[in-house]
Amino acid sequence: MLHVRMGLEGAEIRAMGEEAEAAEDFHQTRERLSFLQRQGVAVRFPEVWDEVGPRAAMLLEESDGAWFMWKGPTGPPDSEVLRRLLAHCAGLPQVTLVLRPEWELPDALAAAGFRPAGTFRTLLVDAAGEDEDVLGRMRASTRSRVRRALRFGFDFADDPGLLPRFHPFYADAMRNANSPDFAPEAYLRELLELPRVHLFGAVHGTEMAAGSVCLVNGDSVEARYVATNPEYRTQAALNFVHFQTMKWAAAQGLRYLDLSGIDGDETSEKTRLINRFKLGFGGTEFSYPVYCR
């Protein structure tokens, strides 16, 4: 017998335990749910339970009057479970679901009024193997830039305390790109308090040359907020950070570096250059189906 409950209270947040959380995408965890609540974001978190315990859950968040689910639901896919979860979207004005591929169950989605709306594509770069294995999977030009950065002598740091040095050049880069994906320093400071969020950096002396705020998602680490200090662009500082992040991921038992989005249509020269940079690391494109209502 299935039933739905809203997992927004402390007792519910603890229900599934840390081991179950660790296997899920960060975007669908109670850890992130709590973070969004502290940020004042409107959220919904329906959970489907049976007699044994929780079967699946779906974290929805509101932004500018619309609602989004990012890389979910959690749990093993099941049409009836999905129908129960989607019933809690019925009263929301506009909903976009970025689904894990196994949850693309067309009949259940159509019955709830959802229609296909393309895909979100990302790039998963294999972090397994020795240094030369990782370098060997890169394009020659990217491999050359990584070697240049290694010769330059950057130090690699995993340190949230670097945020005050990272954020000024990150903010400049976002403004110059007219990016809608800008994260204020206070937001990143609170995000970095979470166990599965890291700030990796290339450090030269007292200066930070490049940085990457990363999220641990199941078997991957996602490079979510990245930027290069313009003073160190020719030294390939961000190439160094991504390479060292892959080594860190492998040491933690993770399989991939997720480079967080590929624009398949290359809608501008800017996105073409971003794609070129990311694809230089090798890897495999991975697609999440998108549905809207």
pLDDT, tens digit (0-9, with 9 covering 90-100), for 80-133: 999 999 998 998 989 999 999 999 999 999 999 999 999 999 999 999 999 999
141-156 per-position pLDDT tens digit: 999 999 999 999 999 9
- Does the pTM of the predicted model rise above 0.75? yes
Domain assignment of residue 41, given as a range: 3-113
Confidence of residue 1 (pLDDT cuts 50, 70, 90): confident
Q: Is 140 in the same domain as 96?
A: no
What total number of domains does the chain contain?
A: 2
Q: Is 149 in the same domain as 21?
A: no
Q: Is 81 in the same domain as 127?
A: no
Residue 291 has pLDDT above 70, yes or no: yes
Last residue of a domain, one of 62, 93, 113: 113
Q: Is 193 in the same domain as 269?
A: yes
CATH number, domain at 166? Answer: 3.40.630.30
Is residue 292 one of the residues assigned to a domain?
Answer: no
For the residues of the chain, what is the DSSP string, one character each? --EEEE--SHHHHTSSHHHHHHTS-GGGSHHHHHHHHHTT--EE-EEEE-SSSEEEE--EEEETTEEEEEEE--SS--HHHHHHHHGGGTT-S-EEEEE-GGG--HHHHHHTT-EEEEEEEEEEEE--S-HHHHHHTS-HHHHHHHHHHHHHTPEEEE-GGGHHHHHHHHHHHHHHTT-S----HHHHHHHTTSTTEEEEEEEETTEEEEEEEEEEETTEEEEEEEEE-GGGGGGTHHHHHHHHHHHHHHHTT--EEE---B-TT--SHHHHHHHHHHHTT--EEEEEEEEE-
Q: What percent of the chain has pLDDT over 90?
A: 79
What is the structure's pLDDT at 125?
A: 98
For the residues of 173-211, what is the DSSP string, one character each? HHHHTT-S----HHHHHHHTTSTTEEEEEEEETTEEEEE
Last residue of a domain, one of 113, 146, 171: 113
182-218 per-position pLDDT tens digit: 999 999 999 999 999 999 999 999 999 999 999 999 8
